[in-house]
């Protein structure tokens, strides 16, 4: 069994640390405080591995701001963090996880995500601020059906 990293749900007081990390990568941050998302810090043995968030409720959830520490990249850490966030989404009742990316399309395709037409996104996803105005129209829309974890 693959060891998945530990995680901590970020409270409002910790959003500044996430904001700083995302701004350095030119990722959207303007709605962190008011997003209907939960953001998590992933760690093991005292080292921060990365961050990611889940936005929405119901069957279709939006993956927000997956970021892996530069020192942890290309070592399988991204795959382990992604699997952990997928598990968290499934535990919340998610059946599909959706995302937009301008830089990591190949990574997500390798992990079972399928490119979709933005016009076919479920309304709960298409109406999110991420889809409406935070990510550029050039961002690739990907989605994945989640296995039941129950």
The domain that holds 135 is classified in CATH as: 3.40.630.30
93 inside domain: yes
Whether 150 maps to a domain, the answer reads no
Domain membership flag for residue 41:
yes
What confidence category does residue 139 fall into, taking pLDDT thresholds of 50, 70 and 90? very high
| Mean pLDDT, residues 3-24 taken together | 92
Structure confidence at residue 137 as a pLDDT band (50, 70, 90): confident
Residues spanned by the domain of 110:
6-145
Token readout for 150 is 């129950």
Count of structural domains within the chain: 1
Max Cα distance, the chain (Å): 43
pLDDT in tens, 20-69: 999 999 888 888 887 789 999 999 999 999 999 999 999 999 999 999 99
């Amino acid at each position: 069994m693959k060891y998945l990293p530990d995680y901590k749900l970020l409270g409002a007081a910790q959003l500044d640390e996430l904001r700083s990390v995302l701004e350095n990568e030119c990722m959207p941050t303007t709605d962190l405080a008011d997003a209907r998302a939960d953001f998590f810090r992933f760690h093991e043995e005292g080292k921060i591995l990365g961050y990611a968030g889940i936005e929405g409720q119901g069957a279709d959830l939006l993956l927000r701001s997956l970021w892996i520490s530069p020192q942890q990249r290309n070592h399988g850490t991204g795959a382990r963090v992604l699997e952990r966030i997928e598990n968290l989404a499934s535990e919340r009742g998610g059946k599909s996880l959706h995302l937009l990316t301008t830089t990591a399309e190949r990574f997500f395709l390798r992990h079972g995500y399928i490119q979709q037409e933005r016009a076919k996104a479920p309304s709960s996803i298409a109406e999110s601020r991420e889809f409406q105005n935070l990510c550029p129209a050039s961002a690739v829309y990907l989605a994945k059906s989640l296995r039941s974890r129950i």
